[in-house]
Amino acid sequence: MHKIIQFIPCMFLIMVACSCNKNYTPEQRNYISRIEQLRESKNISFKNDDDSPFNHKSKIHFAPLKYYDIDPSFVFKSKLQEYGVKDTIKVFGTKGDQRKAVRFGFVTFNYDNMDYKMNVYKGTAKNGQEYYSIWFTDKTTGNETYGVGRYLDFEYNPDPAFIYTIDFNLAYNPYCAYSPDYSCAVPLKEDHIDISIKAGEKKFH
């Protein structure tokens, strides 16, 4: 415990030092600080919480999660475009299990003068609660980032004019990236983004 407490502030200073070398605005520096704090809190939670993927069933050795440097240029704004026909599709888990998801809509972003689209899926949890997800692969997948793909949380707003923030610095690995106890949804071929998204979480192993 004592060693981890010493390690995290050191990592925090390293990340601050990296971000300070660039000519960021005060607003961007505040944003970077918020993301650094979120990452620090997640490390503490994953190490200590009983329901974290490191402690839930099999005890997995914890090490601080790995990330790209925080890059404000990987933050985008988009409206949600809902599909006129919302198809229910089969999605496979990493253990070969099947699950259903609704292809609900999509968001868009422009990077290096090219437009890209990301599907938003609606699922239903075992308790009947609906949730929305974005999952994707990109050119870093299987090299610098987890081989299955990464996820982004998505909180649906029924207002059709609502502007969503798509922040790839918050892209994270599903639990199966840390422990074999979990099965996670595998992104479809259509969810591949043909660029290197060097933002968010890197592969753990």
Asked if 141 contacts 173 with a C-beta cutoff of 8 angstroms, the reply is: no
- Eight-class DSSP state of 185: B
Q: Which residues contact 89 (CB under 8 A, 6 or more apart)?
A: 100, 101, 102, 103, 188
**Structure tokens of 145?**
């980032």
Sign of the C-alpha dihedral computed for residues 134, 135, 140 and 145 taken in this order: positive
In a domain, 199, yes or no: no
Domain count, the chain: 1
Domain that holds residue 162: 2-191
Task: Specify if 127 maps to a domain.
Answer: yes
- pLDDT digits over 32-83, tens only? 999 999 999 999 999 999 999 999 887 899 999 999 999 999 999 999 999 9
Considering the domain boundaries, does residue 196 fall inside one?
A: no
Residue 103 lies in a domain: yes
Asked, for residue 205, whether it belongs to a domain, the answer is no
- Tokens representing 39 are 């990452």
pLDDT number for residue 90: 96
Q: Distance between terminal CA atoms of the chain?
A: 21
Structural domain contains residue 197 = no
Is residue 95 assigned to a domain? yes
pLDDT digits 0-9 by tens, 7-21: 333 333 334 444 445
Q: What is the pTM of this model?
A: 0.87
At 45, the amino acid letter reads S
**Residue 9 falls within a domain, yes or no?**
yes
